[in-house]
Each structure stands twice: as structure tokens, then as C-alpha cells.
Amino acid sequence: MEGQILGNRYLLLEKIGGGGMAVVYKAKCTLLNRFVAVKILRTEFINDDEFVKRFKIEAQAVASLSHPNVVSIYDVGHQDDIHYIVMEYIDGMTLKDYLNKHGALNWKHAVEITIQICSAIEHAHKNNIVHRDIKPHNILMTKEGIAKVTDFGIARAVTSSTITMVGSTIGSVHYFSPEQARGGFIDEKSDLYSLGIALYEMVTGKVPFDGDSPVAVALKHIQEMPLEPHKLIPSLPYGVNEIIMKAIQKEQNLRYQSATEMLSDLNTVLVQPQGGFVGNKSVSNQSTIRIRTVNSDDIDSTVRVSTRPSNVNNKKYESEKQKKKNNTTYWLAGIASVLVIGVLLFITIGLLTKDGSKNEINTMPDYRNKIFEDVKEDLIKRGINYTENWQDNDSVEKGIIFDQSVEPGTEYRNGNFTNLELTISNGPKTKKVPDITNKDYRAAQSELESQDIKYRIEEEFSESIKEDYVIRTDPKADEEIAEDAIVTIYVSKGAEVKLIKVPNLVGKTESVAMQLLKDAKLSLGSVLPAGTTNGIVNKQAPEAYSEVAPGEAITIWLTPQEQQAPSSPSQSDSSDTKPNGNSGGDNTKGGNNKGNTNTPGDQETSGTQQPDNGSGDGDNKTNTEGK
């Protein structure tokens, strides 16, 4: 189907994938001048009216989703017997291919990918769309490391007659939830189970359940608990292990109840990998039972049993009671003795230090609103014992005393017996800006949010930092900021691309067209019809004079060039001097056209018929006056 145009705008360029239900082509949208992916329904399904109807409804529903981690659907349509969906084109690979290439991932990298997928699932669930087929095969990874979930809702379009074929083709059984394997009720928690299986595979390099047949694997999902991932990877943080094991519980009520809940734990584990925050609350499944009404007799008997000793143990009870009373008396006597000794010691020290200046009575100064470093000398001079109590204070500068334990004007006696607590400001509560440069801006957002740091995003072009990655922050990394300060994240839009105008190739030979594209720093794409060579360009896409990025591929259509027998010199001369308005012909000669110059080098040899475009403009210009 390469070369075919769907919907009068989508030019199919090449096949890039396929599955049990559809074939995917890379295409060019000639209207918006961008690459797209076109998924075309296989011919064996076009006569299944129910399948086609539900396929369209699901596609239209998913088209309402708008999220950076969801492959966008741009258009849905049909042409003749072709039913197709136009989607965002992702230049990358599936997560499954990524795992096959890299093996088990570092736990942080795996969690960051899972956060992106879970965020996409959360967005879909809030729009009442359940994916039903979450697996690494349906996650596309861009070259920048961004995860994009695709095939949302398509699983719902599978009828009972197609589920076996599709399942065996795409291998979903390894990621099925137990309720899917049983054919039971499927809801949002089924997607979270599949996501947990995918995270298990990312950190261990293998799926938790495998078998000789799809049925054997499905039974393991229902009956067996997998080996915990930290037993396969001892270095795996326990927090990640907890998240995975909660997500893949057999019972739906024991799993995460929403994508939002799971997303919160995934963000937390990046800063608290040791775990301990994953909750295990569940809705009880205990059956309803009938019990006798609790009456006053039950209450009275309970009180009597719990508060009164039995007759058999009455003597022992009285003995214990007397013993406790004696212990209390001893304690009271001991405390009184300590107090008496303390008073006597205080009086004795006072008499020993009674020598004039040290016994002088003074009044406590007011140290509030003063710099602590400036009053330390005065405190020592006055013989005041003091303690420092540093506290955060948004309204008082750092180092300023804003409270004291002894009120100003209170009398005190010199001799280092007066204790004064000074409350000193640490200034506003601050936080340190984390270093998020060269990180994907979504991961940077998660890191700032986990530390309760407010932020805003600015975009700018960068030659050195790839698109969607952080260039810098303001304030800079490791700087102290106030608790309510806002950090500006500068995100790269990639290198600034200067658009190029597409030259007019219509009427040119293939070789001339190639040279014009090369001069314009563009490339030649498909040449259609396939197999045509040495023809004349009759059509091009994108159109002439439209603006495209450097290196863009231009598709051309050729008309086969007809060959004629060479004409006689007299005929050639006569033909060349005849004014017909076509200045793009062969090289001209003759006495009537003095000073004529050869036309540019894109002309064919004499005897080759060139198309007459009726215009003096373009690349083939002749000086007819010699002026």
C-alpha cells in the first residue's frame, strides 16, 4: 500500500509494524507536513460489523485523551474497505525491545519509566477508559527515554471469536490479571496488576510466571504467588519490592485501589527506597453473619468479671494492695528527703558566696530584637548563665533574639545562679534546590514535588541539551531558598530549526530534481510509481514553496520520458528561433538572437522533448536580447 494516499492527506510511506488486528505504516500528513503512524485494520475483520463499530467507538474515545505519556490519536476514518486510525509517530522502540536490548534495568530507571506509564493510566481511568492490555509491547520508548502508552482501548474491540488468535499473537497472557485469566470482571485494578508485572520484569529481567502454554501461564496467575523480586535481585530496595508485591496481589481489593494511589508510592520510593510507607489496607471479604444482640446482662457480667477478684483469691488481692500502699509511702519519703537536701544546699552556697559584688541585686535587661553575637559579652559580664534556642522564623532575620525566658526588669542576684534561655532566629525556613539539570523535565517535576518545592516551567532552544530535558534552574542547584519560593525550570525545546522552502520540482528531470534538493539541503524520498527512472516530475509532496525542516525527504511522482529521433539541423534551427513563449527549451542558436547564452545545465541533449510549462520563470532562463 506504499504510495497510497488516505483521506486525501495521509501518504503511506513504509510498513513499520503489525499485529493480529492491524498493520501500521509510517505516513506523511501532507496538510500539516508531519510524520504520523497509520494503523490499518486487517482485511479479515472488515466484514465483522460489530468489530468495526466498536473499533471506531473505542478509537474516538481514546482520541479525547491528551497526556504526554499517551500516544495521541489524530484522526479516524475509512476509505473504500480500508478502516484506519491516524496516530502520533514515535521514533523509537517498544519497552519490550528496550528490555531485550538492555536487560534488567536499574531500579531508579525502572521506577521513573513506571511513573510515566502509571501517570498515563491514571489519566485514562479518570476518563473512564480501561486499557486491558498493559504490557511492554504496548509501551513505546522515544530516543529521549520518554514512555508512551499506545493501543488504549483496542482490547475492548476484540470479540470472542478473535481473542484466542490475538492473545497468542501478542503474548498478553504473561501480563494478564487473575480476573482476566478467569474471564471475570475487569476494572482499573486489572491495569495496575499488569503494570506491576511489567515493573517486575523491568527490575528482574524476567516475567514472574512462565510456562509451556498460555493456559499453564494463566493458571499460575490464578493459583501461584511469584518469587519476590528482591530475592532475585538482593540489591533491590525493599520499598520497590513492596510496591510490586502489592500491585500483583491475586485479590483485587488487596491491590492498589487507584492509579493515583500507586503513583504516590512510586514517587515516594525515589526518596525513601527503604520502604515502610506502602499500606496494606483492604476491604474485608468476611461473609455476613447473624449474632445475638448484646444486652445489659452481658455488660454487667463483663464488668463484674473484669473488676472484682474472686473469693478464692481475695486474701492474695488484699496482700498485693497493702504492698503497693507501702511502696507509695517509701517513694514519698524519698522525694521529701531530696527536697530538704536541695534547700539546705542552696542556702549554704548562698552564704559562701555572700561577698558584696556577687550578692548584688540587678534587673534583667531586654535582649529582644538584638543581635545575639553582640550581647554574648554582656551576658558573661553580668554573670548570667544562658542557653541558646535557635528556631526558624519567617519574620525575623537570622541571628536576632526574638524571645527570652526571663522577662525584662525581673530582679536577679549576681553569682551565675540565674539561667536565661534566649530564643534566636534561624531566619525563614529554607530548602536546598536539588540538581535536576540534564534530567527529563517530568522526572524533575516529580523530584521537586516530593520535596514540596514550588516551580514553574520556561521553554527555550538549546544546542547542547536535548528536547524535554532540563537546561538549568533559577535559583541554581544547591542554593538555599525560602519555603514558599518558586524555582524556575528551563526546559530545552531542542536546537532551533530554521525552515527551508521546498523548490519547485515539477517539470524537472529526476537528476535535476535531485540536484535542486541537494542544493536546498533536502533529501529525495520515495520515487513513484516504483521502478520509474529518468522521467519528468509531475507531482511532489510536500508542495513547492512550503516550509520544511532541513534534511526533510521529498516524495516525487515521475512521468516516463519519451525518446524521439534526432531532428535535422535546419529543423532544429528553425524550431529554436521560433518564439513560442517557452524559454526552457534546448540550447538556442541563430543570427536572430544575438548574445544568446546556453540555458542552465539542467537541459537534456538535443532531440529530447521537454515539457512546455508556458512560462519564462523557473530555472531555465534565456537572454533573448543580449542586453
- Selected residue with higher pLDDT from 52 and 343: 52
Number of H helices, E strands in the chain: 16, 24
Strand bridging mode 553-560 / 454-460: unpaired
Please choose, from the candidates 206, 208, 277, 204, the residue with its C-alpha nearest in 3D space to the C-alpha of residue 249: 208
98 to 46, 87, 267, 526, 607: CA distances (angstroms): 33, 21, 23, 30, 58
By percentage, how much of the chain surpasses pLDDT 70?
Answer: 73
Residue whose C-alpha cell is 473484669: 306
Residues tagged in the binding site annotation for ATP:
39
Of 394, 311, 111, nearest to 229 by C-alpha is 111
Which cell goes with 509?
A: 528531470
409 and 453 housed in the same domain: no
Q: How confident is the model at residue 311 (pLDDT cuts 50, 70, 90)?
A: very low
Do 242 and 104 sit in the same domain of this protein?
A: yes
pLDDT band at residue 352, thresholds of 50, 70 and 90?
low
pLDDT digits (tens, 9 = 90+) for 445-468: 989 988 889 999 999 999 899 999
Q: Is residue 601 part of a domain?
A: no
The Cα–Cα gap between 144 and 91 comes to 10
DSSP class per residue in 381-444: HTT-EEEEEEE--SSS-TTBEEEESS-TT-EEETTT--EEEEEEE--S-EEEPP--TTSBHHHH
Same-domain pairing of 390 and 434: no
Tell me: pLDDT of 267 over 90.
yes
Last residue of a domain, one of 376, 399, 425: 425
**Type of residue found at 439:** K
Helix (H, G, I), strand (E, B) or coil at 611: coil
**Residues 188, 258: one domain?**
yes
Exposed / middle / buried, residue 521 (Cβ in 10 Å: 0-12, 13-18, 19+): exposed
- The CA distance from 179 to 196, in Å, is 15
Any domain includes 586:
no
| pLDDT tens column, 97-125 | 999 988 999 999 999 999 999 999 999 99
* CATH of residue 446: 3.30.10.20
Q: What percent of the chain has pLDDT over 90?
A: 38
DSSP letter, residue 91: -
**CB contact at 8 A, 6 and 79:** yes
Q: Which of 15-19, 392-396, 432-436 has the highest mean pLDDT?
A: 432-436
Q: Which of 287, 215, 213, 204 is nearest to 248 (CA)?
A: 204
Q: Partners of 79 in the beta sheet?
A: 82
pLDDT of res. 413: 65
Asked if residue 486 belongs to a domain, the reply is yes
115 & 255 share domain: yes
State which of 60-74, 321-335, 590-604 shows the largest mean pLDDT.
60-74
- 300 or 71, greater pLDDT: 71
Predicted confidence at residue 161, as pLDDT, reads 34
582: exposed, middle or buried (Cβ count in 10 Å: 0-12, 13-18, 19+): middle
Same domain, yes or no, for 368 and 456? no
What is the reported pTM?
A: 0.46
- Residue 140: pLDDT over 80: yes
Judge whether 201 lies within some domain. yes
pLDDT tens sequence across 483-540? 888 999 999 998 887 889 999 999 999 899 999 999 999 999 999 988 887 889 999 9
Mark the binding-site residues, compressed into ranges: 39
Contacts of 510 (CB under 8 A, 6+ apart): 527, 533, 534, 535, 537, 556, 558
- The verdict on 254 and 118 lying in the same domain is yes
CATH of residue 42's domain is: 3.30.200.20
The catalytic position among 75, 81, 133, 191 is: 133
CA-angle at 488, arms to 487 and 489, nearest 5°: 115
Residue 483 maps to a domain = yes
8 Å CB contact between 476 and 459: no
- Closest to 153 measured CA to CA, from 68, 39, 87, 62: 62
In a domain, 276, yes or no: no
* 125 compared with 314, residue with greater pLDDT: 125
Confidence of residue 338 (pLDDT cuts 50, 70, 90): confident
198 and 113 together in one domain: yes
Domain count, the chain: 5
Residues 82 and 101 in one domain: no
* CB-based contact 555:580 (threshold 8 Å): no
In a domain, 591, yes or no: no
Question: Residue 389 pLDDT more than 50?
Answer: yes
Give me the phi and psi of 166, to 5 degrees please: -65, -45
Q: Is residue 188 part of a domain?
A: yes
Instruction: For the chain, give the mean pLDDT.
Output: 77
pLDDT for 598 beyond 70: no
Q: What is the domain range of residue 369?
A: 362-425
pLDDT score, position 595: 41
According to the model, what pLDDT value does residue 418 have?
59
Per DSSP, 601 falls in state T
**Cα–Cα nearest to 58, from 129, 122, 124:** 129
Taking the mean position of all CA atoms in its chain, how far away is CA 306?
A: 59
* Active site (annotated) includes residue 133: yes
- Which of the two residues, 88 and 329, has the higher pLDDT score? 88
- Three cell numbers written together for 283: 476491604
509, 540, 560 - which closes a domain? 560
Same domain, yes or no: 405 and 468: no
pLDDT in tens, 33-55: 999 999 988 888 888 887 777 67
For residues 106 and 84, membership in a common domain is answered with no
Does one domain contain both 522 and 551? yes
Q: Of 269, 301, 322, which closes a domain?
A: 269
For residue 618, the model assigns a pLDDT of 42
